[in-house]
Structure 1
């Protein structure tokens, strides 16, 4: 299980052929929110339901 990092998913698929990969929605949403903060949109995200 991992987050939604494409590079990591590719490596896992190559190294563990036949294994099933699962991603964690919690970690995905955390990564999205960190990206929102990084580009300075956290105030808009927190206050405007249309943006969420």
Structure 2
């Protein structure tokens, strides 16, 4: 996940964990998760950045 670039290490870990656990990743309004190389469920808890 991280090797593809464009995502922070912690975010990459969260994405990989959500994928491995077949879980929904809960995120804020950031667009860091817009162009992932894998498909996971994402739920945004905010519409505007903090």
Is TM more than 0.5 here?
no
Q: As a proportion of its length, which structure holds more strand?
A: 2
Normalized per residue, the structure richer in helix is 1
Q: Which structure has the larger Rg?
A: 1
